[in-house]
Amino acid sequence: MLANGIGRQRLFVVTGASRGLGRAIAEQCLQPGHVVLGISRSAPPAPAGLDQWPCDLGDPLPVAERLQGWLESLDGRRFASAVLINNAALMAPPQPLRSARLDALSAAVRVGLEAPLLLTAAFLHATRSWQADKRVLHVSSGLGRRPMAAQGPYCAVKAGLDHLARAQALEEALFDNGAKVCSLAPGVIDTDMQVQLRDADPGAFPDHGAFVQMKTGGRLDSPAAAAAKVIAYLNRADFGEQPVGDVRDA
């Protein structure tokens, strides 16, 4: 379990924290003694204690550089634990790759894969000397582990996160007090992405009906319920022993 560290704080950095799962995770991390930073394209009114950076993860290099500098400005001795949660994602319109707009594909990959890679590198570099319990959680998806027609970009991004976590876990095991890493599928959640899938053209998206049925059948978790599962998984003593996980297997 994440160290309590008597008299010390816990640090959380959450991307995509303006709505949906990311917002729910950030809100549930707001506990006494916790420092919570949210990074998202927009910064709606935030609850007390949540520091929000309005940043475009479609241009991730400046965001990663800013995060690295901010972390390096902190006194790592303050923290019993430090956590990066790469939650932000952008779904290109569901359709065959041959029909997709190139700018939409580029944005989906930059937000969903390039940004997590750069932010994780910045986080690991800036905290390398910290004696805190360090954890990196990539929010993945079942679609990273099984293909779906008209969802190629999203499948590729999430599969990339899974394999990135596998490689990172091998690397961090080589260092004293290396970070624990997991790419975690959070289940199926009632978010704007689900609306996007249900609103897609059935003629271009063969699995359209399955997503409609999940909604009508009450099979979607609320963001708050899903966030609670993610945080419980993050707090597990064996977090990172398996670099790819699913809350439904917990």
Query: For the residues of 55-111, what is the DSSP string, one character each?
Result: --TTSHHHHHHHHHHHHHTS-GGGEEEEEEEE----PPPSS-GGGS-HHHHHHHHII
| pLDDT at 235 (0 to 100) | 97
In this prediction, residue 6 carries a pLDDT of 52
Question: What contacts 145, CB < 8 A, 6 or more positions away?
Answer: 158, 159, 162, 185, 244
Q: CB burial class (10 A; 0-12, 13-18, 19+) of residue 216?
A: exposed
Query: What pLDDT, on a 0 to 100 scale, did the predictor assign at position 7?
Result: 61
This prediction has a pTM of: 0.96
* 209's tokens: 């009906």
Return averaged pLDDT per consecutive 10 residues of the chain, 250 residues in all.
67 96 97 96 82 96 98 97 98 96 97 98 98 98 97 98 98 97 98 95 96 97 98 98 94
Q: Rounded CA gap, 50 and 190, in Å?
A: 23
Domains by residue range for the chain, with CATH = 9-187+222-249 (3.40.50.720)
Is the distance from CB of 14 to CB of 29 less than 8 angstroms? yes
The pLDDT value given to residue 4: 55
Q: How do beta strands 9-15 and 34-40 pair?
A: parallel
Query: What local confidence, expressed as pLDDT, does residue 73 receive?
Result: 98
